[in-house]
Amino acid sequence: MRRIQVYDTTLRDGSQGEGVNFSLQDKLLITQRLDALGFDFIEGGYPLSNEKDAQYFQRVQELDLRHARVCAFGMTRRKGVRPADDPGMKALLGSGAKTITIVGKTSAFHVTEVLRVSLEENLAMIGDTVRFLREQGREVIYDAEHFFDGWKLNPEYALSTLRAARDAGASLVALCDTNGGSMPEEIAQGTQTAIAALSMPIGIHTHNDCDLAVANSLSAIDAGAVQVQGTINGVGERCGNADLISVVANLAVKKPGYQVLHGDGVRQLTDLSRYVYETANMHHRINQPFVGQSAFAHKGGMHVHAIERATSSYEHIAPELVGNERRILVSELSGRSNIVALTRRFQLQDDRELMDRILAQVVAQENQGYQFEAAEASFELLVRREAGIFSPHFERRHYHVSVEGDCDGKLSTEATVKLRIGETLRHEVAEGDGPVNALDAAMRKALSSQFPNLSEMSLVDYKVRVINSEAGTAACVRVVIESRDRHHVWGTVGVSENVIEASWIALVDSYEYKLCKDAASDPSLVPAGRAAG
């Protein structure tokens, strides 16, 4: 087994991506999470660039890290400035980081046209910087920026920059495909050339501009690289960096002979991916390989039928190897196999007539605009109704929503709901920030005395989509509401020509699902005189 060092630069290179921003606390929390999974290096930032990064290196020293070495990132000394006098060097040393990553120019074109120094001065800048930091007792990783482009342009000069870093004491040289334009075969050849010329550890740092960052990283590792750099979920400038989630999963599960992370780190990749998305307040990429919500989701009836017999028929690995799970979707494309798979926990799969009724109901409702892929809670309630095992926890009698505006453009929203719970009629009114929020508040007031467990439920997302836009203002809309409690997240759906009515349908389903779910696990939550739904 050949161990591959995993070097994460989410907090530095990843934060340069559009729409990506981490607070100081975010960076510290992600550092702890990466360390717990066994990442080898965590690049925390450039301490000279902003106050947040400078504070990070002070605060990170308070963390009890078990595996990871935290790296400070910086550039070579400036032209004509001694390293000891360079502000960048002072900031790097002041960070307290024991490992420092230095980036330098490898391409002759960039040296003369971008950096505007001589080729000889660039070599001196690399060597002086690495040597100075080594003399201060720091480990130095050298990132060879634009290596592959520079190697194709002037191979001898590109290799001479690597030798300058090696001879000055760098412990590893990372070859960078900075523009993300190289092909896997070019990456392999360049990596092999560098290893032969330097006889020292080589790493790989790729960008995703050709959608090849993961493939290029794996190609370099197969060619002999011992370290891979990248970001969680592939975030980063332009098209992003190599996605370490996919790189690690491929090395650990798909490619024999490699060892990455520590303990059960690979089995926590899905949780890590979603944690970083949530921390950065970014939307999850549902079709992300290995860890996306759709990575092991099956919708076509033929596929589900095959999966029921042998999961390997339509899955390249077992989802639990990376902490994910299999999902069976239901839609008008589904067959009986989908329904059977989704209703197995109710032990209804032997009732073929019921399965056909459920499927017919799904098809009929999807013809009206319903979609159950993101509304598994509404689908479960549909199953319960068709199977005759659903007893409503409350009866909807009436609702009303009013929105008023004054001459200053200020809006106020008020909702009234009338519900029957057993023999009790509840009539409540509440204000809110919009119709759905007001309806939610009024329903909580009506239901909370009988169902105190609803206090732990909250709405976390609300989506509206016009279904038949050609109908203009008479078009139907589909509303999907995502709710959560302390243990689960679920989705419900409503469809109507009126967006308030569609929202009301989805909202009621969300409450009913919560009450059904809790009653099934704890019958004491069912009010006296009622059976669990």
Long-range CB pairs of 196-200, under 8 A, 24+ apart, other chains included: 197/159, 197/162, 197/163, 198/159, 198/162, 198/163, 198/166, 198/173, 200/166, 200/170, 200/172, 200/173
- Res 342: pLDDT: 63
Element (H, E) at 361: helix 352-367
Kindly report, residue by residue over 371-387, the tens digit of the pLDDT.
887 788 998 899 888 88
Block mean pLDDT (10 aa), the chain, length 533 = 97 94 94 97 93 95 96 96 96 97 96 95 98 98 98 97 98 98 98 97 98 98 98 97 98 96 94 91 90 87 77 92 84 60 69 83 84 84 88 91 83 92 93 91 93 91 79 74 88 92 94 90 53 42
Q: CA torsion sign, 221 to 194 to 232 to 72?
A: positive
Of 190, 117, 112, 175, nearest to 142 by C-alpha is 175
Q: CA torsion sign, 159 to 165 to 169 to 173?
A: negative
Cα atoms found within 13 Å of the Cα of residue 316, Cβ hemisphere only: 9
- Res 409: pLDDT: 74
Q: CA torsion sign, 299 to 305 to 307 to 308?
A: positive
Helix, strand or coil, per DSSP, at residue 181: coil
- Res 63: pLDDT: 95
Nearest-angstrom CA–CA distance, 232 and 242? 8
Measured at the CA of 63, the angle between CA 61 and CA 64, to 5 degrees, comes to 115
CA 258 to chain centre: 25
Helix, strand or coil, per DSSP, at residue 451: coil
Nearest-angstrom CA–CA distance, 46 and 53? 6
C-alpha distances (whole Å) from 329 to each of 5, 301, 307, 356, 384 are: 38, 9, 12, 16, 17
- Res 30: pLDDT: 96
Nearest-angstrom CA–CA distance, 312 and 321? 13
- Res 333: pLDDT: 54
Nearest-angstrom CA–CA distance, 425 and 444? 14
DSSP state for residue 350 in the 8-state scheme: T
Q: pTM higher than 0.85, yes or no?
A: no
Quick one: angle between helices 301-309 and 336-343, nearest 10? 50
C-alpha distances (whole Å) from 384 to each of 334, 389, 512 are: 19, 5, 11
Kindly report, residue by residue over 323-344, the tens digit of the pLDDT.
998 877 765 555 556 666 666 6
